[in-house]
């Protein structure tokens, strides 16, 4: 929680009049406030938070998705090309070894 929010909460709590002072009164109010306010602002799960941010910024989410898809396609293509080169090298070595025998 930010320091500014704590100061604001303390100011609000100081304005509340209590007939019988309780040592845990401010703590209970603060816990209730955290339970209600913070759940509205931020989701509890990381994946839910990512989905909420994606919904708020659709262009950025689309750009990130396109970069990820393009990167995975290029990486897959590189791996396939690499495997083909390895097979050609193995074929060349096997032909060389057969011709020397």
Encode pLDDT of 51-96 as tens digits.
888 888 889 999 999 999 999 999 999 988 888 888 888 888 888 8
Portion of the chain with pLDDT greater than 90, in percent: 17
Q: Given a cut of 60, is residue 40 above it in pLDDT?
A: no
Residue 20 falls in which region: left (phi positive, over 0), alpha (psi -120 to 50) or beta: beta
Share of the chain above pLDDT 70, in %: 81
The pLDDT-based confidence of 38 (bands split at 50, 70, 90) is low
CB 26 within 8 A of CB 13: yes
pLDDT of res. 1: 57
d(CA 49, CA 54) in angstroms, rounded, equals: 9
């Amino acid at each position: 929680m930010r320091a500014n929010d704590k100061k604001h909460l303390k100011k609000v709590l100081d304005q509340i009049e209590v007939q019988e002072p309780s040592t845990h009164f401010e703590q209970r109010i603060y816990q209730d406030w955290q339970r209600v306010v913070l759940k509205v602002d931020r989701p509890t799960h990381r994946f839910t938070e990512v989905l909420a941010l994606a919904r708020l910024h659709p262009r950025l989410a689309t750009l990130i998705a396109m970069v990820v898809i393009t990167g995975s396609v290029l990486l897959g293509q590189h791996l396939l090309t690499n495997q083909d080169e390895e097979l050609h090298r193995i074929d060349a070595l096997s032909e060389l070894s057969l011709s020397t025998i």
